[in-house]
Copies of this chain bind each other. A is one copy, B any other.
């Protein structure tokens, strides 16, 4: 029974088809036409969802930027900067599923062989950092404090992500995120202590 061309989950099917084909034949060798065929949709449908081939690898990243920002916006009005970052990572945790982990593994394998994919990943990373910065600015933080917070939040996310990717078990992402954030704060306290207050 053929899957309908108009099935509502075309985007997800395209992502799955692309990762299968990249694994089978290599990223460079795979065409958009092949991805669309495997997903049982036409090329036009591919381009309604993704601007170009490598974008099919990064649908999750665009979503993450929104989740981080939403998490920060939903934090309590008097939340401290670390509390805002914790809220951002917790919001991201909702999409860090076993399926996402499997997809991320494949994406990292493709990125290891393609600098254009690596570079697009860095562009997404920069945009996500920008989204966190903007959400922190909305809370009245200065530009520099917001940038500092965004860099620390993204570092905590990457560290948590790396730990989570290594586990085969069911330990959920938020526990990695909380540990990474606490670990970073401990390093800051140890290696970047406040300058001594001058004596009166």
Indicate whether A145 reaches chain B with its CB closer than 8 angstroms. yes
With known contacts A81-B192, A122-B126, A151-B151, A144–B185 Cβ distance under 8 A: no
Closest to A183 in B: B144
> What size tier do the contact residues of chain A reach?
35 or more
Within 8 Å CB of A80, what residues of B? 191
Q: Is the CB of B189 within 8 A of A185?
A: no
Among B141, B142, B185, B193, contact of A195 (Cβ-Cβ < 8 Å)? B185
Which residues of A from 39 to 90 have beta carbons under 8 Å from B?
Answer: 80-82
Closest to A197 in B: B189
Starting from the known contacts A122-B126, A149-B191, 10 additional A-B residue pairs (CB-CB under 8 Å) come to: A81-B192, A118-B123, A119-B123, A144-B159, A145-B191, A148-B187, A151-B152, A152-B192, A185-B194, A189-B194
